[in-house]
Amino acid sequence: MIPVTKPFLPPQEVYESYLKGIWKRQWLTNMGPLASELEIRIRERENLKYALFVTNGTIALQIAIKALGLKGEIITTPFSFVATTSSIVWEGCKPVFVDIDPDSLNIDPDKIEAAINENTTAILATHVYGNPCDVEKIEKIAQRHNLKVIYDGAHAFGVKINGKSIFDYGDISVCSLHATKLYHSIEGGLIFTNDSKLVKKMERMRNFGFDGPSNFSELGINGKNSEFHAAMGLANLDFFDSILEQRTMLSDRYRQKLKSLKIKYPKWHENASNNASYFPVVFDSEETMLKCANQLKLREIFTRRYFYPSLSSILPYLENTEMPITEETAKRVLCLPLYFDLAIEEVDLICRIILRAHEN
Ligand SMILES: *Cc1c(COP(=O)(O)O)cnc(C)c1O
């Protein structure tokens, strides 16, 4: 059996070495020393001013929306994981979908302005598969219309653009450290901003709004993460470069083996690095895609239709809107297995099955 993804686990002794400290201190959660150490190591690694370690990527999005005081309409992409949209609704705002660019599969910046009206307060865009959005264009639009920008960088850990961390962009950027993501802390999320006031506010928000032992400065929630999760994050961080290297090698192998086919890949941002967080393939038709997926499934090789269907046509709490490019693309995309201990022979087998499925 080959799953579509498999979480990376560090050598058990490495994790246990962190556990020893937890047992000694008996400090299990609530901004403990390992959680702080993880925040420091991540912001140093990313060369950013601030990083907040929270419960998960969804809470990170919700805190971001709340902290910016967003109301009314938020422009967003229908080609993402449901949490991008549901967080907007959960925070009492209205998601307004803008169709994607057919090449990058990210929100099409040239279509954003047509969706702006007097109720629009922000743009929440996803760096889909870790491929950066057109951050320059989005920033210009936001400035022109006085909008806030949040980036859902759930897939984007480790991506550099113009020599900087991708999380340096937007008023706030968030990341998910869920077990299925390329770099994880079992469950976890990160919030980034360069604004010192905003980071203080979000720090209080993730801790029930406490400002001192018996003071509240704002509405808060429980967005804290535990020492056990921080320990996994710290243990995995030392392996990140080798994880990235291995996944890049496997992705290159896929590309090389599939190069005779009429398939496409998301057009990567010119000035950005690629973190190989997924291996999405855009087939020429849904029929071909399904044929390949079914042939793989017969051999117990599992793929995922990330992201199908379009969020603009499936959520019971939203009216459906037409997003022709997203709908057309979502039908044809398939993510192939990609994880650290996937063997190169397994990639070759998957490619042979896909090539054969194309022949008949
Ligand atoms: C995984 C994911 C999230 C949610 O992150 P969790 O840590 O699972 O809450 C949000 N947005 C996108 C695009 C994701 O892929």
| pLDDT recorded at residue 178 | 98
Spacing, Cα 219 to ligand 1 middle (Å): 23
Question: Taking Cα atoms as reference points, which of 332, 342, 266, 334 lies closest to residue 306?
Answer: 334
Spacing, Cα 65 to ligand 1 middle (Å): 15
Do both 89 and 180 map to the same domain?
yes
- Whether residue 331 is contained in a domain is answered as yes
End of a domain among 174, 206, 237?
237
Question: Taking Cα atoms as reference points, which of 315, 310, 264 lies closest to residue 77?
Answer: 310
Do both 248 and 210 map to the same domain?
no
* pLDDT mean over 263-280: 98
- Whether residue 3 is contained in a domain is answered as no
- Whether residue 33 is contained in a domain is answered as yes
List ligand 1's pocket residues with C-beta within 6 A: 56-58, 80-81, 83-84, 126, 152, 154-155, 176, 178, 189
Residue type, 318: L
**Ligand 1 atom nearest 58 alpha carbon:** 9
Instruction: List the catalytic residue out of 66, 148, 181, 201.
Output: 181
Confidence band for 266, pLDDT divided at 50, 70 and 90: very high
The answer to whether the predicted template modeling score (pTM) of the entire model surpasses 0.95 is yes
Question: Taking Cα atoms as reference points, which of 148, 140, 175, 173 lies closest to residue 275?
Answer: 175
The count of structural domains within the chain is 2
Do both 88 and 130 map to the same domain?
yes
Q: Which of 151, 152, 186 to mutate to test the pocket of ligand 1 (most atoms within 8 A of CB)?
A: 152
Residue 107 near residue 92 (C-beta atoms within 8 A): no
| pLDDT recorded at residue 238 | 96
Do both 174 and 139 map to the same domain?
yes
* 181 is known as an active-site residue: yes
Spacing, Cα 63 to ligand 1 middle (Å): 14
> Residue 253 CB: number of other CB atoms within 10 A?
17
CATH code: domain of residue 284 = 3.90.1150.10
- Whether residue 25 is contained in a domain is answered as yes
Tens digits of residue pLDDT in 156-168: 999 999 999 999 9
DSSP readout, 196-232?
A: HHHHHHHHHHTBTTBSSTT-B-S---B----HHHHHH
**Ligand 1 atom nearest 181 alpha carbon:** 1
Do both 253 and 232 map to the same domain?
no
- Separation between Cα atoms, residue 38 and residue 233, nearest integer Å: 7
Task: Name residue 78's beta-bridge partners.
Answer: none
Spacing, Cα 59 to ligand 1 middle (Å): 9
End of a domain among 212, 237, 262?
237
End of a domain among 195, 213, 237?
237
- Whether residue 128 is contained in a domain is answered as yes
Task: Give residue 180's domain range.
Answer: 12-237
**Ligand 1 atom nearest 128 alpha carbon:** 13
Task: Name residue 149's beta-bridge partners.
Answer: 123
- Whether residue 6 is contained in a domain is answered as no
CATH code: domain of residue 134 = 3.40.640.10
Do both 231 and 255 map to the same domain?
no
Q: Which residues contact 5 (CB under 8 A, 6 or more apart)?
A: 180, 304, 337, 338, 339
Looking at the chain, how many residues does it have? 360
**Ligand 1 atom nearest 61 alpha carbon:** 10
Do both 264 and 211 map to the same domain?
no
Q: Which of 89, 173, 176 to mutate to test the pocket of ligand 1 (most atoms within 8 A of CB)?
A: 176
Confidence band for 276, pLDDT divided at 50, 70 and 90: very high
Do both 62 and 161 map to the same domain?
yes
Confidence band for 185, pLDDT divided at 50, 70 and 90: very high
For residue 360, pLDDT over 80 is answered with no
Do both 64 and 124 map to the same domain?
yes
Do both 230 and 246 map to the same domain?
no
| pLDDT recorded at residue 173 | 98
Do both 283 and 190 map to the same domain?
no
Spacing, Cα 178 to ligand 1 middle (Å): 7
Helix axes 57-67, 82-90, angle to 10 degrees: 40
Do both 256 and 332 map to the same domain?
yes
* pLDDT mean over 116-137: 98
Spacing, Cα 176 to ligand 1 middle (Å): 5
Ligand 1: which residue has its CA nearest to atom 10?
Answer: 83
- Whether residue 312 is contained in a domain is answered as yes
Confidence band for 198, pLDDT divided at 50, 70 and 90: very high
**Ligand 1 atom nearest 178 alpha carbon:** 7
| pLDDT recorded at residue 91 | 98
| pLDDT recorded at residue 263 | 97
- Whether residue 319 is contained in a domain is answered as yes
